């Protein structure tokens, strides 16, 4: 695919809340905290009160990565392996013991919750997609974002990936060390002056025939560490293929 310009990026995790903190983490990675949520005072009070932790993390990353004048104009992709899993698990627990289910919590338990909250807050009526693809969610979401750029080359795309730790007993073995995080990337077909890490990226899918790699950090965090590192190539391998980013 044609190169894509990364204009801005922002990420949030409990205790790792700005670019300097993420650079320190990238130099010496530590497991992320499983629980936490940022202050989102930029949201209207009613919307802020209704946000679950995952929504707060993802919208915080959006606010930090996208200039205000573009919020209503960008296309968007919101990706999450699990979505608002904590909210859904709490609703299921209420049903299991015949407790009333909160209509508000139910309305925020679907996988496109964050996309809907973003469109309301930013008054954004542009194209938006929500992606879930298991452990390869980040790569598939990135592919969807650059596909949007192919359709509308003059319109930037906001790509947001986030997850919270899945609650027990639903945590898969590969997720046991995963923590709460959100990452937002503002992508474009044209170069611009980036606040954080302007870069030109190439992305492709390669055929591979390799042993399945051992579980490691989630792909979004592997990408962020690579982005900060300055290394020329990131290769995330699966048993039959590999996702490759170059700069």
Tokens encoding 46 = 């009613």
Share of the chain above pLDDT 90, in %: 61
pLDDT tens for 36-52 read: 999 999 999 988 888 88
pLDDT tens for 3-28 read: 999 999 999 999 999 999 999 999 99
For Cα atoms 57, 83, 68, give the angle at the middle one, nearest 5 degrees. 40
The predicted pLDDT at position 211 comes to 63
Cβ partners under 8 Å of residue 49, min gap 6 = none
For the chain, list the domains and their CATH numbers: 4-198 (3.40.47.10)
Query: What torsion do the CA atoms of 18, 79, 209, 214 make, to the nearest 10 degrees?
Result: 50
* pLDDT band per the 50, 70, 90 thresholds, residue 197: very low
Is the pLDDT at 56 greater than 50, yes or no?
yes
Is the pLDDT at 236 greater than 70, yes or no?
yes
pLDDT tens for 208-218 read: 766 665 556 78
Q: Give residue 65's region: left, alpha or beta (phi > 0; psi -120 to 50).
A: alpha
Tokens encoding 161 = 């990936």
Tokens encoding 87 = 């909210």
More confident residue, 31 or 84: 31
> Which regions of 57-194 does DSSP assign to beta strands (E)?
75-79, 128-131, 157-163, 181-188
More confident residue, 132 or 82: 132
Burial of 141 (0-12, 13-18, 19+ CB in 10 A): buried
Is the pLDDT at 171 greater than 70, yes or no?
no
């Amino acid at each position: 695919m044609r190169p894509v310009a990364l204009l801005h990026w922002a990420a949030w995790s409990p205790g790792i809340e700005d670019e300097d903190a993420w650079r320190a983490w990238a130099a010496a990675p530590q497991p992320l905290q499983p629980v936490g949520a940022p202050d989102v005072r930029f949201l209207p009070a009613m919307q802020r009160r209704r946000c679950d932790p995952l929504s707060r993390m993802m919208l915080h990353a959006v606010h930090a990565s996208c200039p205000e004048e573009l919020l209503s104009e960008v296309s968007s992709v919101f990706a999450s392996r699990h979505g608002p899993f904590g909210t859904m698990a709490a609703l299921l627990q209420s049903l299991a013991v015949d407790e009333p289910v909160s209509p508000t919590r139910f309305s925020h338990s679907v996988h496109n919750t964050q996309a809907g909250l973003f469109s309301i807050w930013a008054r954004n009526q542009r194209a938006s997609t929500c992606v879930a693809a298991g452990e390869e969610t980040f790569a598939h979401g990135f592919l969807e974002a650059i596909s949007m750029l192919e359709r509308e080359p003059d319109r930037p795309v906001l790509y947001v990936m986030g997850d919270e730790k899945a609650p027990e007993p639903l945590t898969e073995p590969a997720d046991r060390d995963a923590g709460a995080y959100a990452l937002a990337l503002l992508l474009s077909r044209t170069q611009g002056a980036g606040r954080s890490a302007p870069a030109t990226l190439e992305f492709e899918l390669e055929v591979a025939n390799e042993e399945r790699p051992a579980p490691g950090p989630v792909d979004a965090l592997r990408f962020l560490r690579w982005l900060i590192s300055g290394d020329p190539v990131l290769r995330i391998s699966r048993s039959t293929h590999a996702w490759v980013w170059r700069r």
